Structure 1
Amino acid sequence: MHRVKQLESGVNLAAFSRWLTGQGVVHRISEEGGYQVLWLEDPEHAQPVLAALERFLAEPELRRAVDQQNRSPVFVGGRWQPSPGHAPLVLGIIVVAVLMAWATGMGHNELSAALMVIDPRSYDWSTLSGRLDALASTLAGGQVWRVLTPDFLHFSWSHLIFNSVMLWFLGSQIEWFDGRPRLIALFLVTSLVSNGLQYLVSGPLFGGLSGVVYGILGYCWLSQRRAPRFQFPPALITFAVAWMVLGFTPLPEILGLGRMANEAHLGGFVAGLALAGILPVRRGRS
């Protein structure tokens, strides 16, 4: 064990110790001459652990959040592990996406056209003005569901599985901590913005929950800075933004990954950030 920090004996480190255990950090807290000493098995953990400890001691909100995680029924060993009963709305969205993937043959049969923003067989959408006219005609005809249903149109199982995993991991936390109405608002707004932007730029041939996932990620990241309550690795936001930027380059097509719905990713992410800045933080659920 490596000695990394000595603190006054009156500092309560019990919640922090449980949080470290949940993160898989092997450690020990001993008493020596009226002081507490924090020991770590791996010295490479010292810098991030000391940074986390400094925040834990300095921010009452963070201490309360850690304590809530330790006591919450959806945290097991300090890790977010909800059951379907904790996030039924998120589960329902995923189930609908899977059913639509099966029903549309992964976007390869005629039903797929009914889920797109417009029916691509009925309009000339090769220009922006054409796309605007087609959208206006479609909405005037009462087919308003089309602004949301591209979310449920996927073209590969890998795309669907990735979106579902991310939606379950992050969306379930929003449904639990911030409530179902907040999640519904996020889903609707990020869907409208991401699908609308992607359609205006490239037309109706796109689909997937990626725009919503990016919106939820943006919301979690910014809202977390106002009131810590969500659990996700900080590197996730870095990876997601880097992947989004990469999508605007030719590299994905060069690697055989096909074209990405870049505008949907960007639109959803910006919408999520905006909602995190506008909507008040809900407090009290643990």
Structure 2
Amino acid sequence: MSPVAVLRLPIQADLSGFIALLRRLQVPHRVAEEAGEQVLWVPDELAEQVRDLYLRYPQGDAALQSPASSQAAAGLVRQLRASPLTASMLGLTLLVAALTALGDNFAAIRWLSFVDFRIQGDYIYFAYLAEMLETRQWWRLVTPMLIHFGLLHLAMNALWYWVLGRRIEARQGPWMLLGLTLLFSLASNLAQYSFSGPALFGGLSGVLYGLLGHCWLFQRLAPTAEYQLPRGVLVMMLAWLLICMTGIFELLQFGAIANAAHVGGLLAGCVTGLLGGVLARQRS
């Protein structure tokens, strides 16, 4: 069994309760100080379970003694506090979903769409990106990621951002997650605009494919427990991308899919994952 670094925490973080829990569960472990951080090492076979255990019970035995309902609520609060950027992004996304009525309030959507538009009768007229840049409407380059069309669209994207965003925030910090989120939004929006021209599109899915590509290649080059995705997730996401690219959903009149945004986000994520993985490997 080869050891892997499952947690990297500030030196002032109190791990005594969690370490006591690991001892009670007879989990082999070692805590070391590296570059001003506490690093918890466990066998690679137990890495995913230990990481999930910490997300649920960071205080160790004390958390296990609380009633089930309050324990679950306290666990959620701890997870939100441990991932403030991820939680803030999801909160902002939910707020925009409410303001835009999940795609029905075009008056609100037009301020966040990649290019401005106006509706006359049964027709929609779009401006062009050059006009937006000339009038310094820079926010439009990234704000389409906040627009969602329908409850299912919102729920699926929010779920995957919660899963992937927390991993990156735990491993590389909130500012890295924010930078990657904005970068992948920009890349996916530009890709979709280049492919389809002026159109109405939105959602976090382009960002999600970027986060997926980042975790995937980073993990390949510099293995870390935080980026070790459950088996089948990568295959499922790539398979879904290919299915969407066939045009089957447009044929069945389920709505248009921004496939270029997905591909653009994924390619951008592969680039950042490659660079980040190489740098992390060199440091280690």
Same fold per superposition (TM over 0.5): yes
Any conservation in 2 of the 1:215–1:271 contact (CA below 8 Å)?
Answer: yes
Gaps of 5+ in 2: 6-40, 59-74, 120-124
User: 1: CA distance between counterparts of 2:243 and 2:228?
Assistant: 26
Q: Is the 8 A contact 1:65 1:228 kept in 2?
A: no
Is 2:266 the partner of 1:269?
yes
Q: How far 1:199 sits from its partner (Å)?
A: 1.5
Moved more, 153-162 or 200-209: 200-209
- How far does the alpha carbon of each residue in 1:48-75 deviate from its partner, in whole angstroms, 9 at most, with x for none? xxxxxxxxxxxxx984695596377326
- For 2:281 and 2:179, the matched residues in 1 are separated by 14
TM-score of the superposed pair, with normalisation by structure 1: 0.68
Q: Which residue of 2 aligns with 1:89?
A: 85
List runs of 5+ in structure 1 lacking aligned partners: 1-10, 16-60, 123-129
Question: CA separation in 2, counterparts of 1:237 and 1:12?
Answer: 24
How far apart, in 2, do the equivalents of 1:94 and 1:270 lie? 23
Q: CA deviation at 1:251?
A: 1.3
Larger radius of gyration: 1
Q: Is the 8 A contact 1:90 1:168 kept in 2?
A: yes
Give distance in 1, aligned partners of 2:241 and 2:47.
Answer: 34
Pick one of 186, 204, 209 that aligns with 2:204.
209
* Equivalent position to 1:238, from 231, 235, 240: 235
Distance 2:260 2:273 in 1: 20
Aligned with 2:181 (options 170, 187, 191)? 187
Calculate the TM-score normalised by the size of structure 2.
0.68
What amino acid is aligned across from residue 194 of structure 1 in structure 2? S
Distance 1:159 1:98 in 2: 12
Q: Pick from 103, 107, 125: which aligns with 2:103?
A: 107
AA at the equivalent of 2:272: L
Alpha-carbon distance change, 140 to 239 in structure 1, aligned in 2, over 3 angstroms: same
Q: Distance in 2 between matches of 1:188 and 1:263?
A: 17
Match of 1:117 among 114, 137, 142: 114
- Kept in 2, the 8 Å contact 1:69–1:75? The answer is no
CA distance in structure 1 between the aligned counterparts of 2:264 and 2:184, rounded to whole angstroms: 7
Question: Which residue of the partner structure matches residue 144 of structure 1?
Answer: 138
RMSD (Å), alpha carbons: 3.2
After TM superposition, the structure 1 = structure 2 runs for residues 6-85 of structure 1, keeping only pairs within 5 Å, are 63=43, 66=46, 70=50, 73-74=54-55, 83-85=79-81
SS in 2 for 1:121: strand
Q: Give structure 1 regions of 4+ aligned residues with deviation exceeding 4 angstroms.
A: 64-69
With 233-242 and 275-284 compared, the bigger mean Cα shift is at: 275-284
**Count of residue pairs the alignment pairs up:** 218
8 Å CA contact retained: 2:2, 2:44: no
Change (3 A) 1:282 1:208: farther
In percent, how many aligned pairs have the same letter?
35
